[in-house]
Amino acid sequence: MPIKPEWLRKKIRPSLNQELESMFKKSKVNTVCQEAMCPNISECFSKKQATFLILGPICTRACTFCAVSRGKPMALDADEPQNVAQTVKQLGLSHVVITSSTRDDLSDGGAKHFCKTVSAIKAIDDSIVVELLIPDMRENVEALKQIAHSGAEIIGHNLETVPRLYAVRRGSNYKRSLRVLKLLLSLNPSIATKSGIMLGFGEKDKEVEILMQELLDVGCKYLSIGQYLSPSTHHAPVVEYVKPERFEYLRKIGMDMGFKYIKSSPYTRSSYMAHEYLEAT
């Protein structure tokens, strides 16, 4: 594994995390910030920002890049949608991102639970912008229809990497993910769709350009591009630490191709500074 460069030595400051960690524990809500060991956690928590992880903290898939635990999932918490909504209110969020572990054990992939969470947030304040970041739900049309009409303004589903390198995304399929994004927009043209990829697996610029064009072809106009950081020696290794200049190069190419907004930098993550996407367009 290459040596981590200077621009990727962001410090996690546990002292900045304590207030929100205590709040989330009391409220019985999970965050992907904590479960996925996000390097931006101290920055976001200090601003009272977080991305909520519903459907439990255990995933049914085994992607080799992800720090979220995998195994036998827990039963759904019927109180979770309301707990998340109350926490959103307590934090005073005007733009909230809700994601989940992948729940292939559920017939609807957790779609109803997503919808209940959106409804609970909107019942508190309908002006809150809700963004969902969903798994592929095995391309279940009925489940995706529920998600598309959940009331969320933005629905994201990440491609993660180029098709040649999909061995890191076990249980997923690149073309299926593109079809999911296309279907969501066809089911509800009033929503915005969003995707995200990581650099550092060994992808080539041309492969990324093809991926961006295929996203545009299915109507996806928002994209995040960040650096892959391996959570442990048991996960897929980093092949390359990509220079900030390359992130900016790919951002400019994508914007010229027709994206409405691309956030692209080493520390960009799917939900990082999520409010910027709509504000910039």
Does residue 5 lie within any of the structural domains? no
Do strands 30-31 and 95-100 pair parallel, antiparallel, or not at all (unpaired)? unpaired
- Do the domain assignments include residue 254? yes
Q: How many domains does the chain have?
A: 1
Name the pLDDT band for 36 (thresholds 50, 70, 90).
confident
pTM of the model: 0.95
Q: How much is the pLDDT for 62?
A: 76
Give 280's pLDDT tier (boundaries 50, 70, 90): confident
Q: Any idea which of 138-152, 176-190, 220-234 has the lowest mean pLDDT?
A: 220-234
Position 9 scores a pLDDT of: 80
Say which range, 89-98, 167-176, 242-251, 260-269, has the weakest mean pLDDT: 167-176
H-assigned helices in the chain: 14-27, 32-35, 41-46, 80-91, 111-124, 141-148, 174-187, 205-217, 244-257, 275-279
Q: In this predicted model, what pLDDT tens digit does every residue of 63-81 receive, in sequence order? A: 878 878 888 898 999 999 9
Q: How many CB atoms lie within 10 A of CB 75?
A: 6
Which amino acid is located at 223 in the chain? L
Q: What domain range includes position 29?
A: 10-279
Task: With respect to residue 52, please indicate whether it lies within any of the assigned structural domains.
Answer: yes
Question: What tens digit of pLDDT does each residue of 50-64 get?
Answer: 999 999 989 888 787
| Residue 126 resides in a domain | yes
Looking at the domain assignment, is residue 3 inside a domain? no
Task: Provide the pLDDT for residue 63.
Answer: 82
Compute the distance between CA of residue 66 and CA of residue 116 in angstroms, rounded to an integer: 26
Give pLDDT, residue 55.
95
Worst-scoring range by mean pLDDT, 114-118, 129-133, 164-168, 246-250?
164-168
- Asked, for residue 184, whether it belongs to a domain, the answer is yes
**Does 2 fall in a domain?**
no
**Is 260 contained in some domain?**
yes
First-to-last CA distance in the chain?
A: 39
Rounded CA-CA distance 279/261 in Å is 10
Percent of the chain with pLDDT over 90: 74
**30-31 and 51-54: which strand pairing?**
antiparallel
* CATH code for position 162: 3.20.20.70
